[in-house]
Structure 1
């Protein structure tokens, strides 16, 4: 039997208690009898029930899925070593080098929390959405990862076509599609040994002739910044700068939309930001 401190429940309690609500972008309210995050706060961040967090900590549940472990690791802002320890405590094999990872380094996670006033999202190397701010969700009328895990920009672009209906890249869709595939090609150099990644590429190639055509051209390059017009059903068209930032020593890509401090586009973003805050507040009541 593992010692209490190295058990799954023990690790969760230790890591939960070292975080403050402000560290994860939550307001601190009411009398706090214990240090760190409350169980309900961790549950909210990880997208699981409070009862499930309690059962994990008490040892009544010992086999969470890899998806749940990844969500808990992000919520607890664990580094790679701690994340690997959490996987092992759950009886799972930790993601290794050469495998598509959804791990967000703690410093980057804190940065995302502090940049909640921007439409910002983090994507894995295969362009699977890992996390997004509420303003991102409001701007793109998209659910959170908690509500809809597995959202993937490649699929949305080449298979179901939702991206074309939501946003128009300046310079045309051809350049945007080529940039996405070239970035994915660049990732393939390091992820070619990941069976799930290879299966993902094969599936999209089979479902999208356009993707297959671009993939077979073999171009590889990092994704570049651009300008896009987002078509929103409430505020209308919003034109924003779109920048893709890479995280050193990580597969994570940050996509952030910005505009000048004043002007019609800034006013529309502010309207959506306030609406997102009100929606969150109403949901907590």
Structure 2
């Protein structure tokens, strides 16, 4: 019964989300009143088949990560998000856990910055939402698992990113990420997802463990970064990181100086993008 009610709620909220509001093309004949199942799956980072099984009540016990991703993709209010967690038989994440809810104002910002690569991360540096320009620049994260969506994990244990690093910039990035994660752990000591991430990093990376134990201090600052794009070539951009007051979100924004060759290359990159927010 609970599974059926969860599925009905997802279907009802899916029907009310206009495709264009989610950054998707609205043209052509559409049987769905709002988002198609495959579109919801794309935005939430899950398969269309899993969306179908959830809506039909054939999938039980969705994880907190799946429920949170659905809430973001469906653009639920705080009250609706809490209700979806209850229907899933889960406790809504409280103040002791890292916030992952994206406010309507941040969504509107991404909707308007169509030609600017922008991504939203939580305080653990897990990617929550990226606009089409960002996915075109840095790669499409739609099929990434939980670990691959975390920037710290990718730096120390994963494949890294398209950003080109010198030895010094790499060490500065590592120190900044570990310092930031340590501060996050101090604010949210009871968050189980954060504790698991730190344990995996300490066990899997000697470099992370060394920085963690040393108490090293670093911080993210505005910087110029060169991104090696597979189709356009190297693009050097300014990278700024903004913090959302009250939500503990990090908004990463890449821009190019107008009139430069890098601005032209960035325009080529954004022309390759597909019109959908990835969350």
- TM-score, normalising length from structure 1? 0.81
2:213 corresponds to 1:216: yes
How many Å separate the matches in 1 of 2:218 and 2:83?
34
CA distance 1:211–1:20, shift in 2 (3 Å) = same
Q: Which has the higher contact order (CA 8 A, sep 6+)?
A: 2
Match of 1:283 in 2: none
Greater CA deviation, 121-130 or 103-112?
103-112
Contact 1:185 1:221 in 2 (8 A): no
Return the offset for 1:75: 0.7
For 1:263, the equivalent position in structure 2 comes to 260
Distance change >3 Å, CA 269–CA 93, structure 1 → 2 = same
Cα 1:219–1:84 shift into 2, 3 Å: farther
* C-alpha RMSD of matched pairs (Å): 3.1
Answer whether contact 1:74 1:109 (CA < 8 A) is retained: no
Task: Evaluate the alpha carbon distance shift between residue 166 and residue 224 of structure 1 in structure 2; reply closer, same or farther with a 3 A threshold.
Answer: closer
Deviates more, 1:28-37 or 1:107-116: 28-37
Aligned to 1:144: 141
> Unmatched 5+ residue regions in structure 1?
281-285
Runs of 5+ unmatched residues, structure 2? none
Alignment partner of 1:239 out of 222, 226, 236: 236
Q: Does 1:186 align with 2:183?
A: yes
Show the counterpart of 1:253. Answer: 250
1:101: Cα distance to partner?
Answer: 3.7
- Pick which of 149-158 and 69-78 moved more: 149-158
* Aligned-partner SS, 1:150: coil
Q: CA deviation at 1:195?
A: 3.3
CA contact (8 A) 2:147 2:153 kept: no
Q: CA deviation at 1:25?
A: 0.9
Structure 1 range deviating more: 22-31 or 41-50: 41-50
**2:107 paired residue number:** 109
Spell out the pairing of 1:52-201 with structure 2 (5 A cutoff).
52-140=50-138, 142-151=139-148, 152-160=150-158, 162-163=160-161, 166-168=163-165, 172-201=169-198
Distance 1:9 1:250 in 2: 28
Query: Cα distance, 1:274 vs. partner?
Result: 1.4
What displacement does 1:54 show? 4.1
Query: How far did 1:213 drift?
Result: 3.0
1:17 corresponds, among 15, 18, 28, to: 15
Would you say the 8 A contact 1:125–1:184 is kept in 2? yes
Does the C-alpha gap of structure 1 residues 14 and 136 become closer, same or farther in structure 2, counting only changes over 3 Å?
same
Q: 1:188 to 1:64 in 2, by over 3 A?
A: closer
Q: TM-score, normalised by structure 2?
A: 0.83
CA contact (8 A) 1:232 1:238 kept: yes
Across the two proteins, how many residue pairs are aligned to each other?
275
Inter-partner Cα distance in structure 1 for 2:102 and 2:265:
30
Q: Is the 8 A contact 2:179 2:217 kept in 1?
A: yes
- Say whether the 8 Å CA contact 1:128–1:153 is kept in structure 2: yes
